[in-house]
């Protein structure tokens, strides 16, 4: 297990890459899921107004 | 044929049809990534030259491929939006831009982290790295231009024009390692006549590439559905939905 984490001495490079990828993709997934609800909420608050504050 | 196309281009029909797609694509992404990560990090052998550092390819290469793929999808959507004025194409282009920018950012950052132990430097202004950085600025420029224009349809069309102009950068990125002498290595996977990558390394890489593709479509679809509601906010079907939403909020 320790050997797996060490990645032959490249552990810091390999795992930081994977951590950044997980973070970026995770944020993307959350923002995408929120996009639709954000528009619905904005329209529910102000049906006639522009909803440019909501991500689309 | 045209009736079929019209039906799918109709925002309401697309919204209703796509209700389950995003969820299935997200599930496929999770399964493929679990398999690809296990294969790439555990079962694939270490590289005889680069040791375990090469394992960064399982996110670097799919990110780099997707940075180009998403851009070409946006260019296709941009052309459709400009020629046929199809709203769904405008929405698709707008929804794709932040996801494509994210993949480009990941390709640059993971490449940089790989470059440090392998090349001895985080960054070099070689043709591949520079043209990929230009791609990131193109994505950000497209998003900024779209946001700067008040009217959303005008903004989408301006973004489509900029996207199509930027297409010139795509072959430059692709062929940069052949046209110029670069520090970045040449293609390994596409040399099908003489594959220079071990099959146990290749399969997880291809699985991760498919996973990144399904991720793009899942995330883009979710954003597209929000975009559809914004575009059609004055139609009765969206007003009914919003009415139900408001009633739930107050009740």
In this structure, the dihedral spanned by the alpha carbons of residues B155, B168, B64 and B187, taken in order and rounded to 10 degrees, is: 170
Model confidence at A38: pLDDT above 80: yes
Q: What digits encode the pLDDT tens for the residues B16-46? A: 989 889 889 999 999 999 999 999 999 999 9
pLDDT for the residue numbered B82: 96
| pTM of the predicted structure, to 2 decimals | 0.91
pLDDT above 90 as % of chain A:
38
C-alpha distances in Å from residue B113, one per residue of B3, B26, B73, B95, B180: 51, 28, 28, 29, 23
Chain-chain contact of A17 with B109 (C-beta, under 8 angstroms): yes
Nearest Cβ partner of A7 from B52, B226, B230? B52
Q: Give, rounded to a whole angstrom, the gap between the first and last alpha carbons of chain B.
A: 45
> How is chain A split into domains, by residue range?
17-56
Closest alpha carbon within chain A to B148: A52
pLDDT for the residue numbered B243: 87
pLDDT for the residue numbered A11: 86
Residues 1 through 56 of chain A touching chain B, CB cutoff 8 Å: 4, 7-10, 13-14, 16-18, 20-21, 24-25, 27-29, 31-33, 35-41, 43-44, 47, 51-52, 54-56
pLDDT for the residue numbered A48: 63
Q: Across the A/B interface, how many CB contacts are shorter than 8 Å? A: 122
Structure ipTM: 0.88
Model confidence at B190: pLDDT above 80: no
pLDDT for the residue numbered A3: 84
**Which range, A40-54, B38-52, B212-226, is most confident?**
B212-226
Nearest Cβ partner of A25 from B95, B215, B223? B215
Confidence of residue A8 (pLDDT cuts 50, 70, 90): confident
CA separation for the pair B225, B21 (Å, rounded): 11
Asked if B143 and B100 count as a contact pair (C-beta separation under 8 A), the reply is no
Chain-chain contact of B219 with A55 (C-beta, under 8 angstroms): no
pLDDT above 90 as % of chain B:
69
Q: Which residue of A6, A22, A32 to mutate against B (max B Cβ within 10 Å)? A: A32
Q: What digits encode the pLDDT tens for the residues B120-151? A: 899 989 899 999 999 999 999 999 999 999 99
Model confidence at B67: pLDDT above 70: yes
Closest alpha carbon within chain A to B113: A13
**For all residues of chain B together, what is the average pLDDT?**
91
pLDDT for the residue numbered B222: 94
């Amino acid at each position: 297990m320790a050997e797996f984490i060490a990645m032959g001495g490249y552990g810091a490079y390999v795992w930081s890459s994977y951590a950044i990828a997980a973070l970026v993709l995770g944020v993307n997934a959350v923002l995408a899921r929120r996009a639709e609800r954000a528009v619905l909420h904005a329209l529910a608050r102000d049906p006639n107004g522009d909803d440019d504050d909501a991500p689309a | 044929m045209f009736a079929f196309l019209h039906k799918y281009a109709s925002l309401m029909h697309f919204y209703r049809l796509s209700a389950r797609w995003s969820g299935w694509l997200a599930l496929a992404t999770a399964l493929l990534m679990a398999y690809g990560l296990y294969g790439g990090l555990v079962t694939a052998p270490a590289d005889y030259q680069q040791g375990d550092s090469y394992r960064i390819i399982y996110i670097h290469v799919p990110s780099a491929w997707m940075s180009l793929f998403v851009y070409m999808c946006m260019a296709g959507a941009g052309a459709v939006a400009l020629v046929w004025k199809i709203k769904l194409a405008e929405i698709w282009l707008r929804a794709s831009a932040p996801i494509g920018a994210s993949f480009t950012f990941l390709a640059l950052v993971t490449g940089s982290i790989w470059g440090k132990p392998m090349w001895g430097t985080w960054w070099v202004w070689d043709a591949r790295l520079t043209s990929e950085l230009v791609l990131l600025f193109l994505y950000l420029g497209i998003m900024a231009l779209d946001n700067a224009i008040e009217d959303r349809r005008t903004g989408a069309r301006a973004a489509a024009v900029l996207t199509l102009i930027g297409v010139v950068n795509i072959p430059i990125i692709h062929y940069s390692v052949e046209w110029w002498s670069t520090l970045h290595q040449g293609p390994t996977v596409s040399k099908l006549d003489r594959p220079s990558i071990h099959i146990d390394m290749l399969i997880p890489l291809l699985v991760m590439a498919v996973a990144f593709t399904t991720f793009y479509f899942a995330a883009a679809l979710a954003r597209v559905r929000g975009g559809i509601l914004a575009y059609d906010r004055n139609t009765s079907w969206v007003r009914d939905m919003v009415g139900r939403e408001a009633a739930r909020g107050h009740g």
